[in-house]
Chains A and B, each alone.
Chain A
Amino acid sequence: MGGNREMLQRYALAVVSHLLLVVAWYLFVEIGHVPKFVLPSPAATIQALLVPNYRWVENGLVTGVEIFGGYILAVAFGIGTALLFSWSRTLEMFVMPLLVSLNMIPKVALGPLIIVWFRYGIGPNMMMAFAICFFPIVLTTARGLREVEPDLIDLVRSVKGSRWQIFTKIQLPNALPYIFSGMKVAAILAVAGAIVGEFLGSDRGLGYLMLQVQVTLDTAAMFMAVILITLIGMALYGIVLGLERLLVVRDARIQ
């Protein structure tokens, strides 16, 4: 089928562009004789994985837990808050402006405070990830729950449908594409949140490791850490994208 071929071509091109980047990186380092502490070669970067002291697995797991934990909390509380708003207009008018104001606070600036309040560790870093991705999820979910055609509600009311039926059969499925658009934005933010948390204060995790190897100028290890962080982020994004494919009809997806 034509569609399949086009898709295959798309994937092939994407893979090629990624490989080309690695090749360009390799050639740049080799031909330009760039010192290793400035820009390590792809091979040197991979070799950094072999240093047992860096405890890649443990640090990777810690960062992964922070990102996924904070993210899942934000999704749960974000959707929950938006649901409460859709049930009580007064509550929304009371709390939403407050959330908007609070969202203006640069979350990174809260880092030192979080350390004072909660010390440092996985929990506070999770909280940082949570704080940074909570709001976009509330916002998009609330919007999705609100954007229902009034005529559609009339249609349900004309057969004496209950508020609950309107909610489960119309509002909630209608909001799903919006929820996913918020979740996709939040997935990227969650990674940044957790890493910033680790930079500000931590004794484990890939962000922490980066600060450690910075001191010894092991740039290859820093590169590897960035790559691993990116891979964790891509995994999260991929899961969300997969869920969206599964749950949201193509036509309704928000790009």
Chain B
Amino acid sequence: MGEPFIHLAGVKKVYRTRGADFTAVSEASFDVEAGELVSLVGPSGCGKTTLLKILAGLHSHEAGDVRIGSPEQPFDPSRDIGMVFQQPLLLKWRRVIDNVLLPAEILGLPMVASRARARDLLTLVGLKGAEDKFPYELSGGMQQRAAIARALIHDPKLILMDEPFGALDALTREKMNLELLRIWREAKKTIVFVTHGISEAVFLGTRVVVLTAGPARMADNFRVDLPHPRTLDIKTGEKFGEYSRRIYRLLGME
């Protein structure tokens, strides 16, 4: 393989507030290959959201290197990022399909083609038939599916997800995990997935990056050697348990 798609080396971010400086991220160094689904896992305050926003180009960083893109996978920061947050953040006054189209509108993409693509994406995320509904007519899980379709509309190479299923109930969350793996396989995107759920991190990730808090720093970065397509049974397997314990140990919970 050539260069990695994402390369982070010694990334550090400090928030300066009155009185004290607060280190949000330090020693973050890891590579992500194109097409990987990387889980960033850690407790609150470990800087995982900050790191995600640095990748999105929304936050600056004090030290270290952040490089996205490779000769095989050139990266355009204005149109190769799709974002999904903990809240679906759909615009209440727009129908589902028009919500999905928002990034396309902002980028000025051709609307007829984008509309057709939005329909396909809504089918991909399992929302066929809900195109003309308003967000309030959808359940939380369905709203989050629409938000995922919105993140894919401009065909970005990198999807950044910040605890996208954190606000859902446990069963819907499991279901959405399976759905995300399916969407990831079909859409063939690189995904960076922030979560505080250890089992979720292992289940989804081809790689897991563990961040710890107080002080914030990167504690581990390992490949998850579990076969794809993954089903819920792997959660009861021995390997899955080993990976989970490895993270629990790092977070001082064992």
Judge whether B93 and A249 touch: CB under 8 Å.
yes
With A248-B93, A249-B93, A251-B92 as given contacts, are A155 and B134 in contact (CB-CB < 8 Å)?
A: no
CA distance A228 to B86 in the complex (A): 53
Decide yes or no whether A169 CB sits under 8 A from chain B: yes
B83 to chain A, nearest CB (A): 5
Assess A169 versus B93: contact at CB under 8 Å? Given A149-B87, A159-B154: no
B60-72 interface bits toward A, Cβ cutoff 8 Å, 1 = contact, 0 = none? 0000000000000
With A and B bound together, what is the CA distance between A248 and B92 in angstroms? 9
Looking at chain A, what size class is its interface with the partner chain?
Answer: 20 to 34
Q: Which of B23-31, B103-111, B122-130, B172-180 contacts A (4 or more CB under 8 A)?
A: B103-111
For A173, the chain B residues whose CB sits under 8 A away are 91, 93
Q: Is A238 engaged at the interface, CB distance under 8 Å to the other chain?
A: no
With A165-B106, A251-B136 given, is the CB distance from A159 to B93 under 8 Å? no
Cβ-defined partner of B81 (8 Å) among A149, A159, A251, A252: A159
Contacts of B135 in A (CB 8 A): 251
Q: Is A13 interfacial (CB-CB < 8 Å)?
A: no
Q: Report B-chain residues with C-beta under 8 Å of the C-beta of A158.
A: 56-58, 81-83, 160
Distance, CA A149 to CA B134, complexed state (A) = 19
- CB neighbors of B among A196-228 (8 A): none
User: Is the CB of B85 closer than 8 A to any CB of chain A?
Assistant: yes
Number of interface residues of B (CB under 8 A): 28
Contact of A169 among B79, B89, B102 (CB under 8 A): B102
Tell me the B91-119 residues at the A interface (CB within 8 Å). Answer: 91-93, 102-103, 105-107
Asked whether B236 is an interface residue with its Cβ less than 8 Å from the other chain, the reply is no
Within 8 A of B (CB), among A139-184: 149, 151-152, 154-161, 165, 169-170, 173-174, 176
Contact indicator A160/B78 (Cβ below 8 Å): yes
* B84: nearest chain-A partner, CB-CB: A155
B235 within 8 A of A: no
Selected from A156, A159, A165, A249, the residue in CB contact (under 8 A) with B92 is A249
Q: When chains A and B are docked, how far (Å) is the Cα of A117 from the Cα of B77? A: 60
Among B32-85, those with CB < 8 Å from A are: 53, 56-58, 77-79, 81-83, 85
Is A250 on the interface with B (CB-CB < 8 A)?
yes
Q: Once the chains bind, are B93 and A252 in contact (CB under 8 Å)?
A: yes
Contacts of A174 in B (CB 8 A): 91
Q: Which residue in chain A gives the minimum CB-CB distance to B137?
A: A251
Residue-wise, chain B 154-167 has the 8 Å CB interface mask toward A (1 for contact) of 10000010100000
Interface residues of B (CB under 8 A from A): 53, 56-58, 77-79, 81-83, 85-87, 89, 91-93, 102-103, 105-107, 134-136, 154, 160, 162
Given contacts A149-B89, A154-B85, A173-B93, list 9 more A-B pairs with CB under 8 A.
A154-B56, A154-B58, A155-B103, A159-B103, A165-B106, A170-B91, A248-B93, A250-B136, A251-B136
- Seen from chain A, the residues whose Cβ lies within 8 Å of a Cβ on chain B are 149, 151-152, 154-161, 165, 169-170, 173-174, 176, 248-252
The 10 tightest CB contacts between A and B, nearest first, are A251-B136, A160-B78, A161-B106, A252-B92, A151-B85, A249-B93, A159-B103, A158-B81, A158-B56, A152-B89
27 contacts between A and B (CB under 8 A): A149-B89, A151-B86, A151-B87, A151-B162, A152-B89, A154-B53, A154-B56, A154-B85, A158-B57, A158-B81, A159-B81, A159-B154, A160-B106, A160-B107, A161-B106, A165-B106, A169-B91, A169-B102, A173-B93, A174-B91, A176-B93, A248-B93, A249-B136, A251-B134, A251-B135, A252-B92, A252-B93
